[in-house]
Amino acid sequence: MRIIISPAKKMKVDNDYFGHSSMPIFIDETEKLLDYLKKLNYDELKSIWRCSDNIAKLNFNRIQNMDLYNNLSSAIFSYEGIQYKYMVPNIFTYDELDYIDEHLRILSGFYGILRPFDGVVPHRLEMQSKLINWRYKTLYDFWKDKIAKQLFLESKYIVNLASKEYSDCISKYLGKDIQLINCVFGEITNDKIIQKGTLVKMARGEMVRFMAKNNIKNLEDIKKFNELGYVFNKKLSYDYNYVFIKKT
């Protein structure tokens, strides 16, 4: 079993808690991306990032001075998004850290796929970014099936806790022997399942923490998740789409 999650836009350097123990699998591909980005000027990069001037200036300076091999932080402690705050990896026990090291994978536009303790540097490059002045139009074009193939080599069962932007890197390459388990976190409104962005991110983080805490290795045990008021709904779930409804 492998669990996939999205990265976060906001990152930090964190060498205090747990140093990195490995390099990203596709570091050679990341070097190619960095080389491409360094050739772009500020306005071109800002158009790719689609962000404010303050964020663009920060990341432009990062690109100009980026070193992929020094002053690295473990990926799991580098991202600061909502999902990571609710996962709370810095309070994991050693057994829980071992669990995510084996089972958790972070999908990344810049690194492709990351294990929790791969060394990374702060960067900004969303998977849905449109590239300019290059033979690749998008990062989906650049990565093609590399991410999916690597993941499928590791496991035939993928628990999807990533956004569609990132899970598309996997879902379009599914074969008959690969099973993608989608976890839906929603509320019932007018007889429809409504997924609220912030709450979904919170639940995805809690799900990772739940799986690590309980050493989940059986797909059926995922259905026992009951954090943040979410409960598995058998009636609304089907095949490998697990639906969790928030109690009101």
pTM, 2 dp? 0.94
Whether residue 18 is predicted with pLDDT greater than 80 in this model: the reply is no
Instruction: Assign 228 to helix, strand or coil.
Output: helix
Q: Where does the pLDDT of residue 20 fall: very low under 50, low under 70, confident under 90, or very high at 90 and above?
A: confident
Report how many domains make up the chain.
1
Q: Among residues 108, 105, 180, which one has the least CA distance to residue 139?
A: 108
Q: What is the pLDDT of residue 74?
A: 95
- 46-65 pLDDT, tens digit per residue, is 999 999 999 999 999 999 99
What domain range is 112 assigned to?
2-246
Give me Rg for the CA atoms of the chain. 18
Per-residue pLDDT tens over the stretch 96-116: 999 999 999 999 999 999 999
Could you give the CA distance from residue 30 to residue 27 in angstroms, rounded to a whole number? 5
Q: How far apart are CA 240 and CA 188, in angstroms?
A: 20
> What tokens does 65 get?
């001075």
What is the rounded average pLDDT of the residues 108-128? 96
Find all residues with CB under 8 Å of 116, minimum gap 6, and list them: 74, 75, 76, 89, 97, 100, 101, 104, 106
Q: Do 90 and 154 touch, CB atoms closer than 8 A? A: no
* Longest CA span, the chain: 53
Q: What is the pLDDT of residues 222-246, one digit of tens each?
A: 999 999 999 999 999 998 999 999 9
Amino acid letter, 85: K
Q: Quick one: the chain helix, strand, coil %, rounded to 5?
A: 40, 20, 40
Three-state helix/strand/coil letters over 72-128: CEEHHHHECCHHHHHHCHHHCCHHHHHHHHHHEEEEECCCEEECCCEEECCCCCCCC
pLDDT the model gives residue 135: 94
Q: What's the pLDDT at 64?
A: 94
**Residue 78's closest CA among 62, 65, 93, 94?**
62
Distance CA 161, CA 120 (A): 21
Decide if pLDDT at 16 tops 70: no
DSSP string of 175-203, one letter each residue: -TT-EEEEEEEEEEETTEEE--HHHHHHH
Q: What mean pLDDT value characterizes the chain?
A: 94
